Copies of this chain bind each other. A is one copy, B any other.
Amino acid sequence: MVGGKVGARVKRRNSKPTINDVARLAGVSKKTVSRVINRSALLNEATREKVEAVIADLGYVPNPQARALALRRNFLIGLIHDNPNAQMVLGVQEGILEAIRDSEFALVVRPVDRKSPRMMEDLRQFIERQRLYGVLILPPLSESDDLAKLCADLGCNFVRMGSARLDEPAHLVESNDRQAVAEAVSYLINQGHRRIGFVAGPEGFRSAMEREAGYREALAAAGLSPVEALMARGNYTFDSGYAAANQLLQHAEAPSAIFASNDEMAAGVLHVARERGIAVPEQLSIIGFDDTAIAAHIWPPLTTVRWPIRSMARAAALKLVQPETAAQQPSVFLSDLIRRASVAPARR
């Protein structure tokens, strides 16, 4: 009725081997097994091999729940976003999963409503309760310094994804939207376009600011001045692109090309062109941004800027789960101009 009870216990059928089983079969203590698992430096090589043999033999895998309890930290990576667009969110998820494949980490997703007053409190609870190992924050939410601070305060590692230098490299993966847009607009200029319309993203979004800055840079580099009547603001939705294009194209001196700050708005621009009987690209060239599925599938196929979402997400996840090599992961990612059929030389 004393020690024998425990010692005699037989491993229940149908349940996975635990650290105790390994310890017993290897003839060492639990702690030693734990040291093997955690690659402790202070370990006799012979002991290590003996234990590892038993581990392999048993097919033992440490129980994440028990580790989470003891370490007071879960092996979960959180993805926090406010639904920028489906393609992007899914690309990010794939990138993160590439990074944590075959590791003990798992990905838990957490969309939020940026406009909800409870958002911060909700996220605090989420991070605290799940004791997340780290979180990846997508734009535009990533632009919130308050949120970054919250993570830091909670002792939760974090990486922000954004289109500008939002944070130090250990906490950031960054796309060069400004330069990418400048290149796209320069391309239009090289094609002979002079009246180039611009559909901006929503006010207050860093990505929108950067893309507009790129547009202005390209104009300036070519000695052109921005024209009020050629600029309209959207909010990254199809409908807002549609409205913006109607505004830009109603003028007598309509633009011969339009850069829209994302593909969805570019699709809206294309819609307006169709309705007004404006031929694309013959009478109007269009460039978008994101290279979402829609870009290649509309008619004509849309010239657009592609940024390496998956690679960025993978790098971000690696920064989270391998803090020791975080600095080695790239922080800035370059975009490509994908030339399809929605741009033609300007007619004179």
Contact = CB atoms under 8 A, between A and B. Distances in A.
A122 B87 CA distance: 25
Nearest to A132: B106
A127 to B, nearest CB: 11
**Taking the full assembly, how many copies of this chain does it contain?**
2
B66 A238 contact: no
A271 interface: yes
Contacts of A76: 106, 108
A61 interface: yes
Which size bracket describes the interface of A in this complex?
Answer: 35 or more
A129 interface: yes
A294 interface: yes
A196 B65 CA distance: 57
A86 interface: yes
Contact of A16 (B69, B97, B128, B130): B128
A74 B75 CA distance: 13
A16 B125 CA distance: 11
A293 interface: yes
Contacts of A152: none
A270 B296 contact: no
A274 interface: yes
B111 A267 contact: no
Interface string A235-247: 0001000000000
B130 A297 contact: no
A68 interface: yes
Closest 6 A-B residue pairs measured CB to CB?
A: A65-B68, A86-B90, A267-B297, A86-B86, A65-B69, A108-B108
Interface of A: 16, 61, 63-66, 68-69, 72, 74, 76, 83, 86-87, 89-90, 93-94, 97, 104, 106-111, 125-126, 128-131, 238, 264, 267-268, 270-271, 274, 293-294, 296-299
